[in-house]
Structure 1
Amino acid sequence: MIRVGIVDDHAMVRTGLKQFLSEHVDVRVTGEGSNGADALALARKGEVDVLLMDISMPDQSGVDALKAIKARFPALSVLILSGFPEAHYAATLLRQGASGYLNKECDPEEIIRAIRTVSMGRKYISQAVATLLAEGMAGGLERLPHELLSERELQVFLRLAKGETVGHMAEAIFLSVKTVSTYRTRVLEKLKLTSNSDLTYYAMTHGLIQ
């Protein structure tokens, strides 16, 4: 039996994953959480074999949580399930100890394949990630400006690009309006843009939003 912990700040996502995983006799969900602190707590309890974790969470990010978990529990398999495309974080997180990286738009059956693979102490490399790694080994292309953004900057960028206001975003991700505005300024500077409309156009032309 593979014991799985699910960490995602959206209750609906956790519920859907639990329901899906319950259909497989060799997997059992033994814990869940909504933030980085919960992820570390699940690891500390020692009741999970695989931690299925998002990287975009309100307090401690999944990236920081991964670093903390691998520092304390290096043998624990951590499988990242993120809404961000593989190009943004996959290679970096695999280097930092993640056992695999999946996009939330992947086929559900790929999630169960990945869980079974990493539970045996192996890495799970999806086709999309394999292509990225191959391009990187071959020299690849120069990184695009948005690929240099921090996790939080990228989160703010994508929300702004979709038309979300600073005030609504601040409430949604538990930051002050001033802090979100600071992130917006940094994003505009790094991307060499001047307005939210520019952000939307950039995101659409690079396939980051539809």
Structure 2
Amino acid sequence: MSENYRIVLCDDHSVVREGLRNMIESEGGLKVVAECSNGVELLEYLRAEGADLVILDLSMPRFSGLELLDVLKPEFKNLKVLVLTMHKDRDYFQKAMNAGVDGYILKDDAFDDLMGAISSIRFGEQAYSADLQDRLDETVPENPEDPSLDILTRREAQILRMIASGKMNRDIGEVLGISVRTVEFHRANLMEKLRFRNATELVRFAVSRGIV
């Protein structure tokens, strides 16, 4: 095992990658050696440089994460793959497991579970979100008429409401008792789930839904 455990991030959202890099590199012995925004970049990097672990989103342009899994495990025999995704349903989970991934973590749980998952995978174990089974079994919607809101966790809905009311990340963190970095990560998940690219669109959405 190399002195630094070499990790590649593959997610098409730069804010998510930045948050992951900061979290991972705060731990000794771990090094993010590359960031890729799509599957083509990932394959090019791995074929040229190699890595120990890929942290892979399932929803990306060009190749989906599931399509990539069909290539990664057969071609890179010693590569470990940790899926980090917002997809909670059984179909995605089962397909990823069938493709031989070493772990499956929900983005909602990343700040609680990611570092432990990396450690487990590094030493030959598998890793999953602690409450993944509960999430898969959940029956949903508080508001079945608005599917856009159904995909938000309670914490994400709280943060959306605060963003829309004009609070800054630091203020939100103080109110909720979480770090600014955690707020930034939840904010990035909000943007990805709702397919928005800036805070103005988030605020407009919140106002239109009566969230503020």
Report the TM-score range of the alignment, normalised by the length of the smaller protein: 0.5 to 0.7
Are 2:8 and 2:34, in contact at CA under 8 Å, matched by a contact in 1? yes
Q: CA deviation at 1:63?
A: 0.6
The residue type equivalent to 1:126 in the other structure is S
| Identity between Structure 1 and Structure 2 (%) | 28
Q: Say whether residues 1:4 and 2:12 are aligned partners.
A: no
CA RMSD of aligned residues (A): 2.6
The residue type equivalent to 1:28 in the other structure is K
Q: Which residue does 1:17 correspond to in 2?
A: 20
Q: Say whether residues 1:125 and 2:111 are aligned partners.
A: no
Q: Which residue does 1:199 correspond to in 2?
A: none
Once the two structures are superposed, residues 108-159 of structure 1 have per-residue CA deviations (whole angstroms, 9 ceiling, x without a partner) of 14101111111223221333346689x9xxxxxxxx9xxxxxxxxxxxxxxx
The residue type equivalent to 1:125 in the other structure is Y
Q: 1:28 aligns with which of 26, 31, 38?
A: 31
**Where does the alignment leave 5 or more consecutive residues of structure 1 unmatched?**
136-143, 145-159, 164-171, 173-210
Q: Which residue does 1:162 correspond to in 2?
A: 148
Once the two structures are superposed, residues 19-58 of structure 1 have per-residue CA deviations (whole angstroms, 9 ceiling, x without a partner) of 1112111211001100111222232234421100101001
Q: How many pairs were matched up? A: 140
Q: Structure 1 pair 19/94, CA: closer, same or farther in 2 (3 Å)?
A: same
Are 2:10 and 2:55, in contact at CA under 8 Å, matched by a contact in 1? yes
Q: 1:93 aligns with which of 84, 96, 99?
A: 96
TM-score by length of structure 1 reads 0.59
Pairs within 5 Å for 1:1-210: 1-129=4-132, 161-162=147-148
Are 1:86 and 1:103, in contact at CA under 8 Å, matched by a contact in 2? no
Distance 2:135 2:16 in 1: 27
